[in-house]
């Protein structure tokens, strides 16, 4: 009995820190992803994720050590920008890192790292240096090699542990042409 109360006291604040998606019948139409704020001024920003039901944004930046070298054991650092709270920056909590927005990293050698989302591991991402010797995240968007800039997750209802994801939209810059490319993936 005591243990269950202690667990409840520990877990409840973590769960309350999430916004639970509500059904589209409970609110106005879902907002246009292009109307969401864009994170600016973040040195080493690799890409960011935005999703319904609010404009809170998860940013992924290159993780450098005190000497400015890549932290090879943990090369990507994820954090929130809480726009509804005035743009406050907060680290992800344990549950968010392990079940929702964390990244699994595997070194593939030659300063390259395979990245996989803990929530959607089907999409391979590659962290590597570009022609200017800066780290970028690469992935295929519409079968074209691109530098990833944004992921948008359209959620319409469901629950915290099982949101109703309508689509995942990838946005990036095609390497060959420099054009912006987008693709929507419908989860199965």
- 79 found inside a domain: yes
Alpha helices in 17-119 (DSSP H): 94-95
Q: Is residue 33 part of a domain?
A: no
CB atoms within 10 A of CB 145: 14
**Which pLDDT value is given to residue 120?**
87
Residue 32 lies in a domain: no
The reported pTM is 0.83
Per-residue pLDDT at 103: 96
Which pLDDT tens digits describe the chain residue by residue (188 residues)?
333 333 333 333 333 344 444 444 456 688 888 999 999 999 999 999 999 889 999 999 999 999 989 999 999 999 999 999 999 999 999 999 999 999 999 999 999 999 999 988 999 999 999 999 999 999 999 999 999 999 999 999 888 778 899 999 999 999 999 999 999 999 87
* 28 located within any domain: no
- Identify whether 10 is part of a domain: no
d(CA 181, CA 76): 23
Measure the CA dihedral 183/159/79/16, to 10°: 160
* Domain coverage including residue 149: 41-185
Say what the pLDDT of residue 172 is: 98
In a domain, 85, yes or no: yes
Q: How many domains are contained in the chain?
A: 1
Establish if 12 belongs to a structural domain. no
Asked if residue 31 is part of any domain, the answer here is no
């Amino acid at each position: 009995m005591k243990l269950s109360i202690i667990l409840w006291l520990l877990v409840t604040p973590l769960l309350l820190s999430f916004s639970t998606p509500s059904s589209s019948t409970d609110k106005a139409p879902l907002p246009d992803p292009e109307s969401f704020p864009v994170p600016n001024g973040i040195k080493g920003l690799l890409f960011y994720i935005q999703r319904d039901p609010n404009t809170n944004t998860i940013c992924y930046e290159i993780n450098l050590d005190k000497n400015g070298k890549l932290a090879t054991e943990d090369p990507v650092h994820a954090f929130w920008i809480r726009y509804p709270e005035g743009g406050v920056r907060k680290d992800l909590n344990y549950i968010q890192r392990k079940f929702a927005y964390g990244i699994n990293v595997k070194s593939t050698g030659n300063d390259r790292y395979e990245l996989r989302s803990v929530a959607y591991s089907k999409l391979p991402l590659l962290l590597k240096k570009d022609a200017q010797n800066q780290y970028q995240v690469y992935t295929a968007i519409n079968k074209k090699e691109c530098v990833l800039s944004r992921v948008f997750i359209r959620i319409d209802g469901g629950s915290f542990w099982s949101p109703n994801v309508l689509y995942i939209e990838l946005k990036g810059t095609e390497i060959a042409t420099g054009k912006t490319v987008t693709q929507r993936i419908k989860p199965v």
